[in-house]
A and B are shown apart, each in its own frame.
Chain A
Amino acid sequence: AQTVTQSQPEMSVQEAETVTLSCTYDTSESDYYLFWYKQPPSRQMILVIRQEAYKQQNATENRFSVNFQKAAKSFSLKISDSQLGDAAMYFCAYRSQHYTSGTYKYIFGTGTRLKVLA
């Protein structure tokens, strides 16, 4: 079974600085998606960034980028020029890409709470 591990329950970053959130996962599959979701205090989960495992190039979305290391099964999120609005809970998630795995269930990590200091 697949697992997703976020080993940092809480992180802090100074406004305008850069922070990296860690995520590792375990799977025997070769094709899958990895995601970072943000959950602000308003509660609604929002997709931050998505990576397809077959793509070697790391995904980027404006100030957000990932370091995807497939062999090491690592998927970290880098937030550059941190802003107060980045303060939230961040969840790493995994999903099989093909139904041959038997499910399209999403596996979420336990989350990292990011605090942004003014």
Chain B
Amino acid sequence: GAGVSQSPSNKVTEKGKDVELRCDPISGHTALYWYRQSLGQGLEFLIYFQGNSAPDKSGLPSDRFSAERTGGSVSTLTIQRTQQEDSAVYLCASSRTGLAGADTGELFFGEGSRLTVL
């Protein structure tokens, strides 16, 4: 498909374990965003990648959280030493942000990865 792909769809882990969540954005999209959504709540910004610029990490809640984007495409969000409060849905989105003539502002979301920390 041509949409944003996230894996795994669901992840159950034990407290203290590390987890990796993957996001495959739409081809050609310059920007990639990670958000966290706790049950029934709004979207909490985590991190944002724009082209080759340094990522905006201002939303990462602690140094247990990190993310990288390789080759300007696939991104991995890593949570080390998971805690129960990390349980949430992690949403990835991509867009043509900043592309002259192609930036409509629209953000395209994946279906999210639901993380449950026992």
Interface, chain A (partner B; CB < 8 A): 33, 35, 37, 42-47, 50, 52, 91, 93, 95, 97, 99, 103-111
Q: Does B109 contact A (CB under 8 A)?
A: yes
Question: How many B residues touch the partner, as a band?
Answer: 20 to 34
A21→B34 CA distance, assembly (Å): 26
For the A-B complex, the count of residue pairs with Cβ-Cβ distances under 8 Å equals 56
Tell me whether A43 and B112 are in contact in the complex, defined as CB-CB below 8 angstroms, given that A104-B97, A104-B98, A110-B41 are known contacts.
Answer: yes
Contact residue among A44, A50, A93, A110 (Cβ-Cβ distance under 8 Å from B104): A50
Chain A to chain B contacts (Cβ below 8 Å), 28 pairs? A35-B106, A37-B109, A43-B89, A43-B112, A44-B111, A45-B93, A45-B107, A46-B109, A47-B106, A50-B105, A50-B106, A91-B42, A91-B43, A95-B107, A97-B105, A99-B98, A103-B48, A104-B31, A104-B50, A104-B97, A104-B98, A105-B33, A105-B45, A106-B33, A106-B107, A108-B42, A108-B45, A110-B42
Query: Closest approach, in angstroms, between the C-beta of A38 and any C-beta of chain B?
Result: 11
Interface, chain B (partner A; CB < 8 A): 31, 33, 35, 41-43, 45, 48, 50, 56, 89, 91, 93, 97-98, 104-107, 109-112
